[in-house]
Amino acid sequence: MKLVVALLVLSLTVSVCEKNKISPRITGGYRAKAYTIIYLVGIVYAKSPLSSLKFGAGTIISNQWILTVKDVLVFKYIEAHFGSKRAFWGYDILRIYRENFYFHYDKDHIIALIKCPYQKFDRRVSRVRVPAYDSRFDRYVGNMTMVCGWGTEKRKVRLPTWMRCIEVEVMTNTECAKYYTPLKWYEMCTSGEGFKGVCEGDMGGAVVTMGPNPTFIGVIWLMPSNCSIAYPSVHIRVSDHIKWIKYVSGVGF
Strands 206-209 and 30-31: unpaired
Residue 229 pLDDT: 76
Whether the predicted model's global pTM rises above the 0.75 cut = yes
38-127+242-249 CATH fold: Thrombin, subunit H (2.40.10)
Whether the ω angle into residue 232 lies within 30 degrees of 0, i.e. cis, is no
What residues contact residue 136 under an 8 Å CB cut-off, 6+ apart? 239, 240, 242, 243
φ/ψ of 175, rounded to 5, equals -70, -40
Structure confidence by residue, pLDDT tens digits, 174-216 = 999 998 878 999 999 999 888 888 877 789 999 999 988 899 9
φ/ψ of 68, rounded to 5, equals -155, -155
Residue 151 pLDDT: 74
Confidence at 6, pLDDT banded by 50, 70, 90: very low
Closest CA to 84 of 182, 161, 168: 161
Closest CA to 222 of 233, 238, 207, 206: 233
> What is the per-residue DSSP string for 144-155?
EEEEEES--SST
128-239 CATH fold: Thrombin, subunit H (2.40.10)
**How far apart, in whole angstroms, are the C-alpha atoms of residue 144 and residue 147?**
10
The domain limits of the chain are 38-127+242-249, 128-239
Structure confidence by residue, pLDDT tens digits, 139-163 = 999 999 999 988 776 655 566 678 8
pLDDT at 119 over 50: yes
Confidence at 87, pLDDT banded by 50, 70, 90: low
How large is the average pLDDT for residues 90-98? 92
φ/ψ of 70, rounded to 5, equals -70, -15
